[in-house]
Amino acid sequence: MNEILGIILAAIISWFNFVLIDTWMGLPESPGVKGAEIIGRSIQKRGGNLAGGFFQGNIVCSPDASAGTLLASIACFTIGTPEGGLIAAVLVYFGNRLCADPGYAGTTGALSITAIIYLTSFIGFKPEFFIVGMVLAILTIQGLYQTGASRLLGKLAQKMGRYTKIS
């Protein structure tokens, strides 16, 4: 498979993977730690959405499904396809508990991306496509245009019924 096309497809797949799992696990609902609330208020002051700001703050302050996706891809690339993802899930769980978070989102993301890598390896995807694709996906949320990304995340949270109750 062509390398550039594979990277772009992997970026789209991992974007949907971690955004859907994070929203379903209730990241936009409430700030888990105190630092996430400050980042959300700052995003709102600059013209963004509060729920999307909480989402971005929670990603900064503890390893969530985004970290699970990236680390499981790295471990699948270096260790081997089914075993690496399972080892990464255990290590992400302990890292989550160190950062004062229950740890559901991280392990779910790691296990689901392991299944996706195993299934798409039959049609020619390699795990390194998913590593670069995950970095591109996190760049579109945290790096390029933060207030627009927070508005998009807020709209998605409203559609999935996980909108924040704090005003």
Partner 1 sequence: MIIHANVFSYFIALAAALILSLVLRLPLLPDKPMRNSWTISAVFPTAVLSVGFYAMAYELGYHGYLVALITGIITALFAKFILEKVVPRPEGEESHE
Partner 2 sequence: MLIEILGIIVIIMALRTLLAQNREERLLCLNVIGFSMSAIIGLYIQTPFGAIIAITFFVTSTLSSNAIAYSLGRVKEEIMVK
Question: In this chain, which of 3, 94, 143, 145 binds partner 1, going by CB under 8 A?
Answer: 94
How far apart are the C-alpha atoms of 105 and 118, rounded to whole Å?
Answer: 20
CB of 161 to partner 2, least distance (A): 26
Q: Is 92 in the site for partner 2 (CB under 8 A)?
A: yes
Q: Which is nearer to partner 2, 102 or 159 (CB)?
A: 102
Q: Decide which of partner 2, partner 1, none touches 25; Cβ closer than 5 to 8 Å per partner kind.
A: partner 1
How far apart are the C-alpha atoms of 41 and 57, rounded to whole Å?
Answer: 10
For residue 151, which phi and psi values (nearest 5 degrees)?
-65, -40
Whether 108 and 64 have beta carbons less than 8 Å apart is answered as no
CB of 142 to partner 2, least distance (A): 5
Q: Which is nearer to partner 1, 32 or 154 (CB)?
A: 32
Task: Work out the angle between the directed axes of helices 65-78 and 81-98 (0-180°, nearest 10).
Answer: 140
Q: Which is nearer to partner 1, 90 or 139 (CB)?
A: 90
